[in-house]
Structure 1
Amino acid sequence: MRWQEFSVQCPELAAAARDRFVADQLVLLGTIRSDGAPRLSPCEVDFAADELMLGMMWRSRKALDLRRDPRLAVLSLPAGKDNPGGDVKLDGRAVEVADPDLRERYCQAIEARIAWHPTGDYHLFVLDVERAATVRFDPADGMMTVRRWRPGTEVSTERRPG
């Protein structure tokens, strides 16, 4: 489901993801190489037109991966080994954006964020969310809290030793 619907279906994890991704401005993107091996790449994310957007350099390996196989994982950047902000992970599929209006709205969002916008060719994808999770470690009690969600379910919360 697209970001706007995800935000309605699972507001708790959508808000955590949005806050984290906006603050970090960068995520780890997991794609699948042509030989089936995983590829991890840094990727900037932006929110525009109620979508989570992933812009990429023209013909970059990660963009070509997604054009061939749209499955992906988006993971927040850990802030050190203790990672006090926890992790946010979204799994889903990339949908390439051809719509000129949506591409323009992406350009406006990125320009507002970093006073730059793409010129020439570039790849742009929106995320269809299929699963979401957060993990947070509490050093005070040594426990880890894991929250998980899939479409059609409530958020499940599990606390266990970290």
Structure 2
Amino acid sequence: MTTWSEVEAAAPELAAAVRACFERGKHKTMATLRADGSPRISGIENEFADGELTFGMMPGSVKLADVQRDPRVALHSPSVDPPEDPSAWPGEAKVAGRAVPGNGDAFTLDVSEVVLTRINAAGDRLVIESWRPGGQVRRVERT
């Protein structure tokens, strides 16, 4: 299992930027897989606590049923529209992995991927930084 503290140790700058994106708002989005394999998008709240990325789901919710059937999930930070100066956009973040049951209806994320998407300082390229367990931070720029 890859904990959030392991992400912070392996890719500290990326982890800090991703966490900042997630912490700029209360409501995030989570993708789960329905019984037929199609995706489901739901609202979610999360916390970074004790070296873990944690979240909970209401008993009887369809997203909980999805996770109990297939624990693969992806979480997306709150989105904000880019300002007139695109280089000032803080970007958006995604974290994927497996939901691991904790106490009650609480889950921690076994992290399999961390992604930060933003605009470069010149404002003319999309910058995508990603990390997977056992790897290095990968950076791609697109025009």
TM-score class, shorter-chain normalisation, is: 0.7 to 0.9
Which protein is richer in helix relative to its size? 1
CA distance in 2, matches of 1:77, 1:31: 17
**What is the aligned partner in structure 1 of residue 42 from structure 2?**
41
Structure 1 residue 12 corresponds to structure 2 residue 17: no
CA contact (8 A) 1:25 1:46 kept: no
Once the two structures are superposed, residues 137-158 of structure 1 have per-residue CA deviations (whole angstroms, 9 ceiling, x without a partner) of 3595421111111111111112
CA contact (8 A) 1:55 1:124 kept: yes
Given the two structures, how large is their TM-score scaled by the length of structure 2? Answer: 0.87
CA contact (8 A) 2:95 2:115 kept: yes
Given the two structures, how large is their TM-score scaled by the length of structure 1? Answer: 0.78
**What is the aligned partner in structure 1 of residue 119 from structure 2?**
137
Give the letter for the 1:146 counterpart: I
Match of 2:107 among 125, 129, 132: 125
**What is the aligned partner in structure 1 of residue 68 from structure 2?**
67
Equivalent positions of 1:17-32 (< 5 A) are 17-32=18-33
**What is the aligned partner in structure 2 of residue 157 from structure 1?**
139
CA contact (8 A) 1:131 1:149 kept: yes
**What is the aligned partner in structure 2 of residue 54 from structure 1?**
55
Once the two structures are superposed, residues 51-100 of structure 1 have per-residue CA deviations (whole angstroms, 9 ceiling, x without a partner) of 111111112111111111000111112112668221111111000103xx
* Identical columns (%): 38
Match of 1:87 among 92, 95, 115: 92
CA contact (8 A) 1:92 1:131 kept: yes
**How far is the alpha carbon of 1:39 from its aligned partner?**
0.5
Structure 2 residues without counterparts, runs of 5 or longer: none
CA contact (8 A) 2:34 2:66 kept: yes
Distance 1:136 1:70, change over 3 A: same
RMSD, matched Cα: 1.9
Number of residues paired by the alignment? 138
Moved over 2 A (4+): 80-83, 137-142
CA distance in 2, matches of 1:66, 1:37: 13
Structure 1 residues without counterparts, runs of 5 or longer: 99-121
CA contact (8 A) 1:134 1:147 kept: yes
CA distance in 2, matches of 1:62, 1:11: 31
Is the partner of 1:24 in helix, strand or coil?
coil
CA distance in 2, matches of 1:28, 1:56: 12
